[in-house]
Structure 1
Amino acid sequence: MGQIPEFVVAFLELLSFLFITVVGLGVLWFAFTYVRDKTQTESTLRRNYPVIARFRYLFEHLGEFFRQYFFALDREEMPFNRAERSWVYRAAKNVDSTVAFGSSRDLRPAGTVYFVNCPFPTLEKDAEEPSKVQIGPYCKYPYETDSTFNISGMSYGAISIPAVLALSKGAKKAGMWMNTGEGGLSPYHLEGGADIVFQIGTAKFGVRKPEGGFDEAKLKAVAEHEQVKMFELKLSQGAKPGKGGILPGAKVNEEIANIRGINVGEDAISPNRHPEIDSVDDLLDMLHYVRETTGKPVGFKAVVGAYGFFETMCKLINERGIESAPDFITIDSADGGTGAAPMSLIDNMGMPIRESLPLVVDILKKYGLRERIKVCASGKMINPSEVAWAYCAGADFVNSARGFMFALGCIQALQCNKNTCPTGITTHNEKLQYGLDPASKSERVASYAKNMKKEVGILAHSCGVPEPRQLKRYHARVVLDNGRSVSMDELYPEPETQKAAE
């Protein structure tokens, strides 16, 4: 046999050295970990089962991802299952969204909604574009739009620069509005050219004095931007009704600090409510102040809980005069949201949109204010069925945040409350942001919105109406506990209307 070449011998010696080194390091790690686990007092499992118990925590962490990709069925996951996410991904990529061999959706559980098709559906030639809606008839600069699906509030700071740019540019392409979230107006919101709703959170970020409260000059400066069409006073949001937002100081760089009006590296903490608002009178006064200062429509966003508040507000509006009413109300659902929040609030606080939206619409009708006050619905509405349901329930507009996060490429990694989002959407880590290209993602944002409009229109046409805003409650049925369904107009009958203020 020939002699083994020297380079092969050297390579084998290197492999042997590496193997012995790795084994040695492994033995050292095992010994160190064994002693550490056996002597610590924080974990009972690690103290009783040193080293081995650590794999439990590893598998518990990995299980979340294995369930998502290997074990969970298409309609099992929460907060959004694979079937729901897949539709958004296909719509955003503008690929075929048809399916074969029947639905995988179970129509039997109580609360399931389905729509009633008309024996004579609307022909394509008779279909209409969504009707235009005017918001703020008593403002100096009313806002009119035909958009049926819009981008809900996501703050710059909570989401990244590339994400804001992609949303802004996509909103412009799709002809919809974009809500800034409570983090203030950034140049990235403006860059895309979309219509903008400026959200005023409880800390007044972007329009605040250093000590808190409104800075009127800043408020007017924001209103001078032609793209800013409306102002939204945030009372509460679905992720955390009754608690303000927190942006950790580590995320507050110089630009974010300047936009929000706080110090660099300082935690951006919002109070759990507007300190100036102690009553319905105070709320209407603040809405009036913002409307008079900016000349533009102003409304408020809230998760519905103690709904008697809406009754009190409507009575007071009719006493003050109809011009004192909010120009719009955004009803957010209690089942979560994009914001990181305590589980106790996400899981337990407030009403889901399925109950709160028709309730608020009926209260407005009861007091003759439904035409005066426009209603936006928000919360887990990422597929055409949810959006169509909202129009049946009485909404004028539907807003979504998480739907557009999926359109940007969100994989539901559930790391929004950390700086480790793998898709670059909710992180300021530039390495992770690298994969999020605003130009291509803006196309996906626009495609998602356009396909949503198209498929909600298909549902409307199947119900026999020419466009979504003509959907009524009798077009939807809800499954009851006994397995039978009932028309939604029977569950929520028309209220007796009182005369509105002249």
Structure 2
Amino acid sequence: MYELGNSFLSATSQLLSSVFVLLMAALVIIAAVLYVIDLTQTRHTIRRNYPLIGRFRYLFEKLGEFFRQYFFSMDREELPFNRAQRSWAYRAAKNLDNTQAFGSTSQANDVGHVIFMNAGFALLEEEATDIEPIVYGPHCRKPYSSASLFNISGMSYGAISRPAVQALSRGAAMAGCWMCTGEGALSDYHLEGNCDIIFQVGTAKYGVRDESGDYDVARLKYLGELPQVKMIELKLSQGAKPGKGGILPAVKVSEEIARIRGIPVGQASISPNRHPDINNSAQLIERVCWLRELTGKPVGIKFVLGDVNWLDDLLRTIVDAGAENAPDFFTLDSADGGTGAAPLTLVDDVGLDLQESLPILVDKLIEYRLRDRIRVIASGKLINPADVAWALCVGADAVNNARGFMFSLGCIQAMQCNRNTCPTGITTHDPKL
């Protein structure tokens, strides 16, 4: 038995030694092949000048995306959302303790930092009153009344996954807030939770387009009869990419998404830069009135403010047409708003941030005596209580938010929304994720 055991150990040791030698030989051969490839290729300077070793630069650059937030960045340093902001959203979503120990880590002296002036005699909890409902579209056949101040902004099915849409729909119903479909059309998953729905009409008219790309009147009438759809939002522009239509990479255009949107399978879904049927303010007001008459529901417009002269022209056109013909609400998006995919220059350098545009919009509505007629919905990075309170104090009637709700679903800000590789499964259609 002793000799048999020694023989077995000896045979196992020889086998492992042979496997190790083969593995080392394979690694040497692979390294040699990669060395030659790097030395002869002409696309990457680092790899050509430093064959094989230069490949680690790309590995470290890739890994840096994931490790930077855990090992190097301070709590208030990251963008678009720092760790302090994300942590608040995570804990609030789980209804966990959200208190802070020792003191603030925020730089209160930074330019633009908002400070709320406390009252001498604070309000007692029993003295607080309920929020009064706001009526959207009082001139419509089916006006919408809502007391919700914080709502789910447009995130298309396609840009986010089926489980994400389902979870948001159910959560919105529980919270009593509305959910915007985004420009990617209305799916059964939006309706599953029986929440209030804002249907967004993008420049490609997904979900309400015919074969030629024009409006499908029958589909619009169907939306008008659907009780869960409360309002229609005509999207002119989006915060992260003003002047650019929506972008859904081809890898995300499955058969189901193609059917819902009315587009070819497996081809990138790129919306026009603007509505082809709207060339000026007068045509915009005509389209708003047409949609409102057809559906019987409140119709508003979503835009990023850039040229203030455009806003003056629009408001003058509304005054000339009569207040009853005005859009029922303006959804004002911030230039630092979120997106599933957008060119970097548009993300960084186009449009006004909400901190600048919201006061301008509210002042202009007051100037043209339209503030009581047109409701204002603010959107863009408003995930923490102070941000939301600021927008309401400046003049917004309600707030929309998207990425805050993504954090509530478990988003870790991996910045892979456009690659179908989201590690938390929120912006991917890979069933394994």
Q: TM-score, normalised by structure 1?
A: 0.84
Residue type at the aligned position of 1:310: L
1:215 corresponds to: 216
**In the alignment, does 2:356 pair up with 1:360?**
no
- Does the Cα contact within 8 Å between 2:249 and 2:418 map onto a contact in 1? no
More displaced stretch, 82-91 vs 251-260:
251-260
1:163 corresponds to: 164
Residue type at the aligned position of 1:62: L
* Percentage of matched positions with identical amino acids: 60
Deviation of 1:338 after TM superposition, in Å, equals: 2.5
1:441 corresponds to: none
User: What SS is found at the alignment partner of 1:368?
Assistant: coil
User: What SS is found at the alignment partner of 2:135?
Assistant: strand
Find the aligned partners of 1:356 and 1:209 in 2 and give their Cα distance. Answer: 35
1:408 corresponds to: 409
Find the aligned partners of 1:32 and 1:114 in 2 and give their Cα distance. Answer: 61
**In the alignment, does 2:20 pair up with 1:19?**
yes
1:283 corresponds to: 284
Find the aligned partners of 1:295 and 1:121 in 2 and give their Cα distance. Answer: 44
Find the aligned partners of 1:34 and 1:313 in 2 and give their Cα distance. Answer: 62
1:113 corresponds to: 114
Structure 2 unmatched runs, 5+: none
- Does the Cα contact within 8 Å between 1:210 and 1:262 map onto a contact in 2? no
Deviation of 1:31 after TM superposition, in Å, equals: 0.4
- Does the Cα contact within 8 Å between 1:338 and 1:401 map onto a contact in 2? no
- Does the Cα contact within 8 Å between 2:337 and 2:379 map onto a contact in 1? no
1:438 corresponds to: none
Deviation of 1:314 after TM superposition, in Å, equals: 1.6
Task: Report 1:317-466 matches (<5 A).
Answer: 317-432=318-433
2:89 corresponds to: 88
Render the CA deviation track for 1:405-456: whole Å, top value 9, x for unaligned: 0000000000001110010111010010xxxxxxxxxxxxxxxxxxxxxxxx
Find the aligned partners of 1:286 and 1:367 in 2 and give their Cα distance. Answer: 21
Task: Report 1:187-266 matches (<5 A).
Answer: 187-266=188-267
Find the aligned partners of 1:404 and 1:198 in 2 and give their Cα distance. Answer: 18
Find the aligned partners of 2:376 and 2:96 in 1 and give their Cα distance. Answer: 32
Change (3 A) 1:328 1:22: same
- Does the Cα contact within 8 Å between 1:38 and 1:48 map onto a contact in 2? yes
Deviation of 1:2 after TM superposition, in Å, equals: 7.2
Find the aligned partners of 1:384 and 1:213 in 2 and give their Cα distance. Answer: 41
Render the CA deviation track for 1:153-207: whole Å, top value 9, x for unaligned: 0001111100000000000000000000001000000010000000000000000
1:292 corresponds to: 293
Structure 1 unmatched runs, 5+: 433-502
Residue type at the aligned position of 1:52: I
Q: Which has the higher contact order (CA 8 A, sep 6+)?
A: 1
Residue type at the aligned position of 1:96: D
- Does the Cα contact within 8 Å between 1:338 and 1:402 map onto a contact in 2? no
- Does the Cα contact within 8 Å between 1:329 and 1:374 map onto a contact in 2? yes
Deviation of 1:253 after TM superposition, in Å, equals: 2.1
Residue type at the aligned position of 2:220: L
Find the aligned partners of 1:117 and 1:7 in 2 and give their Cα distance. Answer: 80
- Does the Cα contact within 8 Å between 2:201 and 2:234 map onto a contact in 1? yes
* Total equivalences in the alignment: 432
Find the aligned partners of 2:249 and 2:64 in 1 and give their Cα distance. Answer: 28
User: What SS is found at the alignment partner of 1:115?
Assistant: coil
1:41 corresponds to: 42
Deviation of 1:91 after TM superposition, in Å, equals: 0.4
Residue type at the aligned position of 2:305: V
User: What SS is found at the alignment partner of 2:286?
Assistant: helix
1:154 corresponds to: 155
Residue type at the aligned position of 2:396: A
Find the aligned partners of 2:57 and 2:252 in 1 and give their Cα distance. Answer: 32
1:496 corresponds to: none
Residue type at the aligned position of 1:351: L
Find the aligned partners of 1:14 and 1:300 in 2 and give their Cα distance. Answer: 72
Find the aligned partners of 2:198 and 2:216 in 1 and give their Cα distance. Answer: 18
Deviation of 1:14 after TM superposition, in Å, equals: 3.1
Find the aligned partners of 2:110 and 2:212 in 1 and give their Cα distance. Answer: 52
Residue type at the aligned position of 2:91: R
- Does the Cα contact within 8 Å between 1:336 and 1:347 map onto a contact in 2? no
Find the aligned partners of 1:253 and 1:246 in 2 and give their Cα distance. Answer: 15
User: What SS is found at the alignment partner of 1:114?
Assistant: coil
- Does the Cα contact within 8 Å between 2:154 and 2:182 map onto a contact in 1? yes
User: What SS is found at the alignment partner of 2:432?
Assistant: helix
1:76 corresponds to: 77
Find the aligned partners of 2:285 and 2:173 in 1 and give their Cα distance. Answer: 32
- Does the Cα contact within 8 Å between 2:153 and 2:180 map onto a contact in 1? yes
Deviation of 1:3 after TM superposition, in Å, equals: 7.2
User: What SS is found at the alignment partner of 1:218?
Assistant: helix
